[in-house]
C-alpha cells in the first residue's frame, strides 16, 4: 500500500513536471494551455469588479505554479473561491521561477475575487549553490533513478522543495502578510468554509493548520533526522515545552528529551503533514529557530545530494519548535490532492449541504496515514473519527 501511494504521487508530480499536450481540453474549456495562445482568440465582456479585500487578516492565498499549469491552477482557484474566498476576497500571490505569461495573468486575475500579485523567484532561490558539487549531485540523481526513487532524477523538484523549505517566506511580496494558505494546482475542496480560517487561527493561538498526513519515502531523506539531531544538540533552547516529538518518533519521551537537551535516542518514523495544503503563520518560518534550522540543513547539501522534501522539513520543525496546541487539524475540511483525499465524517456536514464527498473515501484512516497517531496523542476534532481498530483512548 505504501509503495503504491508513493508511486501514484510520483506519477502526479511527473505529469506536472513533464505534461503532455492538451489542445483538446483547451478547445473544450476555452482556456489556453500554453504561452503561445494569441491574444483576442477568446472574447469576453469587460466589466468593473470591486476586488477590495473584505477579510480582516493580513493573509494571502499562495500558489507556486508554472505557466503550463494554468488550467489546473484555475481549477484550484475556482474551488477556493466558490467554497471560501468569494466572501472574503483575500489576495492571491503567485510565484514562478519564470515570468508569468500574459495569458496566465489575464485568466488568473479574472478568476480571483480579490487582488492578485505575481512574483518571479530570484535565481539564487532556484539554483544549486556554487559550493555544492554538481558532479556528485548528478551521480546521486542517476543512482536514485536506477533505484526507482520517486523524483530521484529531477533537479527541478529539488529546487521546488528547497524553495518551499527556506525561501518562499522571504519573498518581498509576502512581507505585508502574517498568514498564508498554500494552494496547489489540481486540488478539490469538498466543503463550504463558512468562517475565516485565518481569523480562527489567530484567535485560537494556532500557528499551523493541516488536513492530511502520511509517511515520507525513506530513501529520499536518509540523513535528515541525523542532521536534525545534530542541530538540536547544538541548539536545545529551541525545543518547545510539550512539543510533538512523540508524533514524529515512536516511543519518544518529550520530558526526557527536554531534560537531556537533545533527541539523540530517537528515530524518525517518517510522519509528516502533507504540505500541499497548509494554513500557517508566516512568522513561524521567519523565526530564529526555523531560519537557523533551515540554514543548518541547507549547508549540508541534503536538498540536492539526497532529495529532502519541504513536507518533512516543515513537519519536523513544527513538531519540535512549537507546543502541540499550536498545531491544528482542519477536520471540518474536505480536500483532495490526488492520490489522497479526506471527507468530513459527521452527518451534519452532509445533510446541511455544506460538503459533497464520499465519506468512505477518507485518507485519515488509510494504512499510509499518520493521522490516527495524531488522534491518539491530541484527540479528534469535529468532522473526524477515531479508528475503531485502536485500543487506546483519546484524552
Q: CA–CA separation, 178 vs 59, rounded Å? A: 6
Q: CA–CA separation, 97 vs 253, rounded Å? A: 42
Question: Which residue, among 374, 365, 386, has the nearest Cα to 327 in the 3D structure?
Answer: 374
Q: 213: helix, coil or strand?
A: strand
For residue 217, what are the contacts with CB-CB under 8 A and spacing of at least 6? 6, 149, 150, 270
Helix (H) or strand (E) holding 285: helix 282-285
Helix (H) or strand (E) holding 182: strand 179-182
Q: What is the DSSP letter of 392?
A: P
List, in sequence order, every residue forming a beta bridge with 118; answer none if it has no partner. Answer: 94
List, in sequence order, every residue forming a beta bridge with 179; answer none if it has no partner. Answer: 59, 281
| Dihedral of the alpha carbons of 318, 89, 115, 79, in degrees to the nearest 10 | 70
DSSP string, 115-142: -EEEEEPPGGGSS--TTS-HHHHHHHHH
Q: CA–CA separation, 24 vs 318, rounded Å? A: 44
Cα distances (Å, whole numbers) of residue 90 to 52, 55, 138, 300, 367: 8, 6, 42, 38, 36
Strands 116-120 and 179-182: unpaired
Q: Which residues are catalytic?
A: 278
Buried b or exposed e, range 104-142, using 16+ CB within 10 angstroms? bbbbbeebbbbebebbebeeebbebeeeeeeeebeebbe
Strands 278-281 and 179-182: antiparallel
Let me know if 90 is exposed, middle or buried by CB neighbors in 10 A (0-12, 13-18, 19+). Answer: buried
List, in sequence order, every residue forming a beta bridge with 60; answer none if it has no partner. Answer: 180
Q: CA–CA separation, 257 vs 29, rounded Å? A: 56
Amino acid at each position: 500500500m505504501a509503495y503504491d501511494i508513493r508511486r501514484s504521487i510520483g506519477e502526479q508530480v511527473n505529469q506536472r513536471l513533464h505534461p503532455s499536450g492538451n489542445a483538446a481540453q483547451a478547445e473544450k474549456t476555452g482556456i489556453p494551455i500554453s504561452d503561445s495562445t494569441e491574444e483576442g482568440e477568446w472574447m469576453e465582456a469587460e466589466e468593473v469588479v470591486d476586488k477590495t479585500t473584505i477579510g480582516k487578516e493580513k493573509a494571502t492565498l499562495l500558489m507556486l505554479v508554472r505557466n503550463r499549469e494554468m488550467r489546473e491552477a484555475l481549477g484550484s482557484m475556482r474551488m477556493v473561491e466558490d467554497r471560501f474566498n468569494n466572501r472574503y476576497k483575500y489576495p492571491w500571490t503567485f510565484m514562478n521561477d519564470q515570468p508569468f505569461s500574459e495569458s496566465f495573468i489575464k485568466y488568473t486575475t479574472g478568476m480571483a475575487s480579490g487582488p492578485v500579485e505575481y512574483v518571479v523567484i530570484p535565481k539564487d532561490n532556484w539554483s544549486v549553490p556554487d559550493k555544492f558539487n554538481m558532479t556528485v549531485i548528478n551521480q546521486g540523481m542517476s543512482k536514485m533513478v536506477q533505484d526507482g526513487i520517486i523524483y530521484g532524477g529531477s533537479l527541478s523538484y529539488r529546487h521546488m522543495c528547497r524553495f518551499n523549505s527556506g525561501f518562499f517566506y522571504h519573498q518581498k511580496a509576502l512581507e505585508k502578510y502574517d498568514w498564508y494558505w498554500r494552494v496547489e494546482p489540481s486540488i478539490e475542496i469538498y466543503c463550504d468554509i463558512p468562517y475565516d480560517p485565518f481569523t480562527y487561527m489567530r484567535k485560537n493561538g494556532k500557528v499551523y493548520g493541516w488536513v492530511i498526513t502520511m509517511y515520507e519515502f525513506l530513501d529520499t531523506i536518509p540523513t535528515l533526522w541525523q542532521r536534525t539531531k545534530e542541530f538540536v544538540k547544538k541548539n536545545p533552547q529551541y525545543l518547545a515545552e510539550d512539543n510533538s516529538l512523540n508524533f514524529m518518533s515512536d516511543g519518544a519521551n518529550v520530558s526526557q528529551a527536554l531534560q537531556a537537551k537533545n533527541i539523540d535516542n530517537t528515530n524518525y518514523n517518517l510522519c509528516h503533514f502533507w504540505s500541499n495544503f497548509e494554513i500557517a503563520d508566516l512568522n513561524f518560518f521567519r523565526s530564529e529557530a526555523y531560519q537557523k534550522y533551515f540554514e543548518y540543513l541547507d549547508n549540508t547539501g541534503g536538498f540536492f545530494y539526497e532529495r529532502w522534501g519541504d513536507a518533512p522539513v516543515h513537519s519536523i520543525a513544527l513538531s519540535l519548535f512549537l507546543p502541540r496546541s499550536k498545531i491544528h487539524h482542519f477536520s471540518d475540511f474536505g480536500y483532495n490532492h490526488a492520490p489522497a483525499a479526506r471527507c468530513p465524517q459527521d452527518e451534519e456536514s452532509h445533510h446541511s449541504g455544506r460538503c459533497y464527498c464520499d465519506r468512505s473515501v477518507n485518507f485519515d484512516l488509510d494504512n499510509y496515514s499518520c493521522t490516527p497517531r495524531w488522534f491518539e496523542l491530541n484527540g479528534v476534532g469535529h468532522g473526524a473519527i477515531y479508528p475503531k481498530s485502536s485500543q487506546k483512548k483519546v484524552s
